[in-house]
Amino acid sequence: MSLTSNIYNPKGISQTSIDLLKDIYKSAGSYDTDNMQKLAGSKEAKEVLRNESSIDVDRITVCHFYKHSHPYFPHTDFHTNEKENIVIPLEVVNGPNPYLVIFDQWFDGDGRTWTFRENLNFEFNKSLKGRPCDFSIHEKTEEDLPSNLYKYLSHHPRNYWYGLTGYAYEFKVGSYIKFDSKKIHATSRLFCESKLGLTIRYRA
């Protein structure tokens, strides 16, 4: 089977749309992020995206904002109606841009989150304790993560990333990144205070 290739779109979406999306997020600031994923995000954000010719709004099945101050675990997002991810950076606060690391390795099945040594339970993208390489992921190598990639992921010991290769995409406002939801991905070590993004998923 073949996965869709990663596409980095340096032109992304317009500044007008970015500003409108940030306004939507900020005006809903009294909701917590979990609630936001279910309410404010979807409908209004989709209306904004209708102005963007490179976004196929009719294929969107998931649309939510997320704001992070800490790197997130490696995970996949695939579900029956979620085949492709688009990550749209909206804001990076007080520091250099972080990166989104998309690995070449992928997991064939519903989205999962690898929590390394931590016992965590997630309702969505259910947790797997351990490293991705300890599970049946596709295309894993028999080598350590390359050092040019480890520099983005040094918040964990290098052997946690054993068997992985991939590419680090800059989380840069004004660009976006599209990739197959089955691909394992993780956020880089953050040297900024926080980052805000909009993530959308396409059905097939």
Closer Cβ to Fe ion, 20 or 168, answer by number: 168
CB of 47 to Fe ion, least distance (A): 23
- Give the whole-angstrom CA distance, residue 202 versus residue 124: 17
CB of 32 to Fe ion, least distance (A): 19
Closer Cβ to Fe ion, 44 or 77, answer by number: 77
CB of 72 to Fe ion, least distance (A): 8
Instruction: Give the residue among 176, 199, 167, 198 at the shortest CA–CA distance from 21.
Output: 198
CB of 16 to Fe ion, least distance (A): 26
Task: Count the residues of the shown chain that bind Fe ion, applying the rule CB under 5 A.
Answer: 1
Helices (DSSP H) in the chain: which residue ranges?
15-27, 33-38, 40-49, 147-150
Closer Cβ to Fe ion, 6 or 20, answer by number: 6
- Give the whole-angstrom CA distance, residue 73 versus residue 47: 31
Q: Per-residue x/- marks for Fe ion, 46-85, CB under 5 A?
A: -------------------------------x--------
Residues in the chain: 204
Closer Cβ to Fe ion, 77 or 180, answer by number: 77
Instruction: Give the residue among 43, 72, 74, 77 at the shortest CA–CA distance from 60.
Output: 43
| Interacting residues of 190 by C-beta distance below 8 A, sequence separation 6+ | 68, 69, 70, 71, 95, 98
| Residues in region 149-188 near Fe ion by CB under 5 A | none
Residue with the shortest CB distance to Fe ion: 77
CB of 37 to Fe ion, least distance (A): 12
- Give the whole-angstrom CA distance, residue 185 versus residue 194: 19
Residues at the interface with Fe ion (CB under 5 A):
77
